[in-house]
Chain A
Amino acid sequence: MRAFRTVSAAATTLAASGFAGLAHAAPAMQGGERQPLNVEAIVMFFAFVAMTLGITYWAARRTRSAADFYAAGGGITAGQNGLAIAGDYMSAASFLGISGLVFASGFDGLIYSVGWLVGWPIILFLIAERLRNLGKYTFADVVSFRLEQTQIRTLSAIGTLVVVAFYLIAQMVGAGKLIELLFGLPYLYAVILVGALMIVYVAFGGMVATTWVQVIKACLLLGGATFMALMVLIHFGFSPEAMFGAAVAVHPKGGSIMGPGNLVHDPVSALSLGLALMFGTAGLPHILMRFFTVADAKAARKSVFYATGFIGYFYILTFIIGFGAITFLMNDPAYYTVAADGAYNKVTALLGGSNMAAIHLSNAIGGSFFLGFISAVAFATILAVVAGLTLAGASAVSHDLYASVIAKGRASEDREVRVSKASAVAIGIVAIVLGYIFEKQNVAFMVGLAFAVAASCNFPVLLMSIMWKGTTTRGVLIGGFLGLASSVGMVVLSPAVWEATLGNPKGTAPFPYDNPALFSMAIAFGGIWLFSKLDRSKRAEIDRAAYEQQYIRSETGIGSHRAVAH
């Protein structure tokens, strides 16, 4: 086996990039040998694929208008949307990554779960309702509501595509590695399979199919994780104290797994990481799109409430699963790469790396059948997330770039949807190619980069255009691009990329912090404010004058789109 990353190194990378990502799972699994064909897992996975393809066929027959394609005709209920949002959000990264982090370091895993969850209330309080009242299909609709269409939509589309691209590469590479490891399929086949399926879901079934894929996957994941956590708790007679006691007794780090380790040490890193986790969520284009799939603001609010509940519950489960994995796996050499003398490192030598803790636990408590089920769920999870990302990217190309920037609003709805479908195919092919190219690369930083860009470009642009009367086209344009450029630049110059990925010597990284959000968000907000203030152009007068009407509509919903066009 090639060198496993040690868990301490992996944990540092996590703290560094700021995200327990599947992206992170990828390098951790690089050393994993391809497993023998796992028949149960493959059968269950194909059952999932068959079901989702059936739904896609049904959805394709119902998807006629642009409103159907982008927003499922506004016909998704709050409960369904809550599950779909949770489905978009509970990636394999959070399932395998967080339970793996808990397995390796205990309490520290909770820091990520918490950070990932607390963005949701903020979205609800400040954004969801206004977004729903002002927009139609994409968040660019909202930003360009009173600002100049062409330039603003170009900026928003670039912000969307950059986030989608980094997120997608991380997911594709992670998917390839995971499938190679779980199903025993070659990497390239796995990447092509994922790419092809996501093209089919999005191009044929649009938002209806994508939503249902998310809903099914969310139910499977919540069900599987609940069963695992329940089995662990039953084993310990529902006493967390007994579970923690057993974990402390067997874990090489002993009692220290019950408190914070060294994930965050200085206040700047802590704040920066916290900001990125919290506000990155509020700038993810595939998440923001989901608010347009429900009938009204009431349903939009309720769906955030449900989603927060599902996601919070899920993170508590991953915590139990991580501790369960410590107690069930660490004394069983069958799950480890064991040296000739029978010794093994209880954290780093886990087969496939510590991110596989949840997968091995499923085998330990439910045998090969349940192992197959959880493996299939993990794969389905990736598939659902990439489908959501692809739809967001395709919508940015067709609805923002093509319909508004290139055709200047003269394109027919039919043509716009056709462009969107073609974009979905193109994005899928690009994702396959990039997934193949990046196979051997360390992509750990990419999910972190996606969140940093979302927090530093999309979120400030959205919030300022909704909240501040003085925001002008020029201000948003300059501030948005500054946020985008500074977040990408600082990530590239950070220790996680400059040293760990590009291989420069330790201590040479020009930017000392791994997470740029504190700085790049300040640059974006400051830039929008400053260049709006300085803006004396004719356009700026129009922008400011139109605020009143936007304000009334954002607060009351008068005149807002009801995405029901059949």
Chain B
Amino acid sequence: MSSAPAHDIKNDPQFQALVSRRSRFAWTLTIAMLIIYFGFVFVIAFAPTLLAAPIGSGVTTVGIPIGVAVIVSAFLLTGIYVRRANSEFDAMTSQIVGRAK
């Protein structure tokens, strides 16, 4: 591959839009995951009694649905990313690649 198309692509406004949108999206989701997970870990480290509080009069504690929710959130966040990447971002990419040929 010569460097000429690389240069053209770099100056393509659509390429710049793709990269900035995708990286903002990816980092937002990354930070969301980090906050959810390390939030969970730090509650365990600093305030374990919060999670050990029973729901209503039963034995099930608040920690159980929260733990399951962290697992489900990981799945949902990947789903959100894949949905947008496989439609919007891929469409932009194929237009950019098409022009560069």
Proximity string of chain A (79-119) to chain B, C-beta cutoff 8 Å, 1 when within and 0 when not = 00000000000000000000000000001001101110110
- Chain A residues lying within 8 Å of B37, measured Cβ to Cβ, are 114-115, 118, 274, 278
> Could you say which of B26, B30, B40, B82 contacts A302, with CB atoms under 8 Å apart?
B82
Query: Residue-by-residue, is A108-152 near B (CB-CB < 8 Å gives 1, otherwise 0)?
Result: 001101110110111011100100000000000000000000000
Contact stretch, chosen from A212-220, A304-312, A536-544: A304-312
B53: A residues at CB distance < 8 A = 259
Knowing A301-B85, A556-B97, say if A263 contacts B58 (CB, 8 Å): no
**Cα(A312)–Cα(B77), bound, Å:** 13
Say whether A233 faces chain B, with CB atoms less than 8 Å apart. Answer: no
Report Cα–Cα, A110/B37, bound state, in Å.
12
Q: Are B71 and A555 in contact (CB under 8 A)?
A: no
With a CB–CB cut-off of 8 A, which chain B residues contact A121? 29-30, 33, 74, 77-78, 81
Q: Roughly how many angstroms separate A114 CA and B75 CA in the complex, as a whole number? A: 11
Chain A CB within 10 Å — which of B41, B81, B90 has the most?
B41
Given B30, B33, B40, B61, which contacts A258 in the complex, CB threshold below 8 Å?
B61
0/1 interface trace, chain B 9-41, chain A, CB 8 Å (1 if under): 110000100110010001101100110111011
Instruction: State whether B86 touches A298 (Cβ < 8 A).
Output: yes
Contact present for A117 and B74 (CB under 8 Å) = yes
Name the distance in Å between A20's Cβ and chain B's nearest Cβ: 15
Across the interface, do B93 and A556 meet the contact criterion of CB distance under 8 Å?
Answer: yes
| Segment from A264-272, A353-361, A426-434 that makes contact with B | A264-272
Instruction: Please determine whether B45 and A552 come into contact, CB atoms closer than 8 angstroms.
Output: no
* Residues of chain A with a CB closer than 8 A to B45's CB: 264-267, 269-270
Assess whether B51 is in contact with A259, with CB atoms less than 8 Å apart: yes
* Cβ contact within 8 Å between A305 and B78: yes
B residues near A556, Cβ cutoff 8 Å = 9, 15, 93, 96-97
Residue in A107, A261, A265 whose CB lies within 8 Å of B61: A107
Q: Tell me which residues across on chain A come within 8 A of B90, comparing CB atoms.
A: 297-298
Bound Cα distance from A281 to B22, whole angstroms: 23
The size bracket of the interface on A is 35 or more
How many angstroms between the C-alpha atoms of A410 and B67 in the bound complex?
53
Q: Which of A260, A552, A553 contacts B48 (CB 8 A)?
A: A260
Docked-complex contact A260 and B30, CB < 8 angstroms: no
A316 contacts chain B at the CB level, 8 A cutoff = yes
Q: Give A316 to B69 CA distance when docked, in angstroms.
A: 11
Give the shortest distance, in Å, between B4 (CB) and chain A (any CB). 11
Give the residues from 307 to 322 in chain A that come closer than 8 angstroms, CB to CB, to chain B: 308-309, 312, 315-316
Residue in B closest to A296 when the chains form the complex, CB atoms? B90
| With A298-B86, A552-B10: A114-B40 Cβ-Cβ less than 8 Å | yes
Nearest neighbor of A110 in chain B, beta-carbon distance = B67
Query: What residues of chain A lie closer than 8 Å to B49, measured between beta carbons?
Result: 259
Question: Could you tell me if B75 and A309 are in contact, using CB atoms closer than 8 angstroms?
Answer: yes
Q: Is A245 an interface residue (CB 8 A)?
A: yes
Please state if B1 and A558 are interface contacts (CB–CB under 8 Å): yes
Q: With contacts A125-B30, A556-B15, A558-B100 known, is A260 near B63, CB below 8 A?
A: yes
Which chain A residues border B85 with CB–CB below 8 Å?
129, 298, 301
Judged by a CB distance under 8 angstroms, whether A548 is at the interface is yes
Closest Cβ of chain A: how far from B82's Cβ, in Å?
5
By the criterion of a CB under 8 Å from any partner CB, how many residues of chain B are at the interface? Answer: 57
Assess whether A549 is in contact with B3, with CB atoms less than 8 Å apart: yes
Contact A308 B74 (CB under 8 A): yes
Is the pair B26, A125 in contact by a Cβ cutoff of 8 Å? Answer: yes
* Cβ-defined partner of A244 (8 Å) among B6, B15, B59, B100: B59
Asked if residues B78 and A558 are in contact (CB atoms below 8 Å), the reply is: no
A558-B74 in contact given A114-B37, A260-B48, A302-B86 (Cβ < 8 Å): no
**Complex Cα gap A555–B92 (Å):** 11
A510 at the interface (CB under 8 A from B): no
Question: How many angstroms from the CA of A304 to the CA of B75 in the assembled complex?
Answer: 10
- Residues on B with C-beta less than 8 A from A266 are 45
Q: Which residue of A lies closest to B29 (CB)?
A: A125
Within 8 A of B (CB), among A185-205: none
Q: CB-nearest residue of chain A relative to B55?
A: A241
- A125 cross-chain contacts in B, Cβ below 8 A: 26-27, 29-30, 33, 81
User: Closest residue to B23 on the A side, CB-wise?
Assistant: A555
How many angstroms between the C-alpha atoms of A274 and B63 in the bound complex? 18
A316→B75 CA distance, assembly (Å): 13
List residues of chain A with CB within 8 A of the CB of B68: 316
**Residues in A whose Cβ lies below 8 Å from that of B27:** 125
- Enumerate 19 A-B pairs (CB-CB under 8 Å) in ascending A order: A110-B64, A113-B71, A114-B37, A115-B37, A118-B70, A121-B78, A124-B81, A125-B27, A244-B64, A255-B59, A258-B59, A258-B64, A259-B48, A267-B42, A271-B38, A316-B71, A549-B1, A553-B1, A556-B96
Give chain A's interface residues, CB within 8 Å of chain B: 107, 110-111, 113-115, 117-118, 120-122, 124-126, 129, 240-241, 244-245, 248, 255-256, 258-261, 263-267, 269-271, 273-274, 278, 297-298, 301-302, 304-305, 308-309, 312, 315-316, 548-549, 551-553, 555-559
Interface positions of B (Cβ within 8 A of A): 1, 3, 5-7, 9-10, 15, 18-19, 22, 26-27, 29-30, 33-34, 36-38, 40-42, 44-46, 48-49, 51-54, 58-61, 63-64, 67-68, 70-72, 74-75, 77-79, 81-82, 85-86, 90, 93, 96-97, 100
A270-B42, A308-B78 provided; 12 other pairs, C-beta below 8 A?
Answer: A110-B64, A125-B27, A126-B30, A241-B60, A258-B63, A259-B53, A259-B61, A267-B45, A269-B45, A270-B45, A316-B68, A549-B6
What are the 7 closest A-B residue pairs judged by CB atoms, nearest first?
A: A259-B52, A260-B48, A270-B45, A110-B67, A125-B26, A258-B61, A118-B37
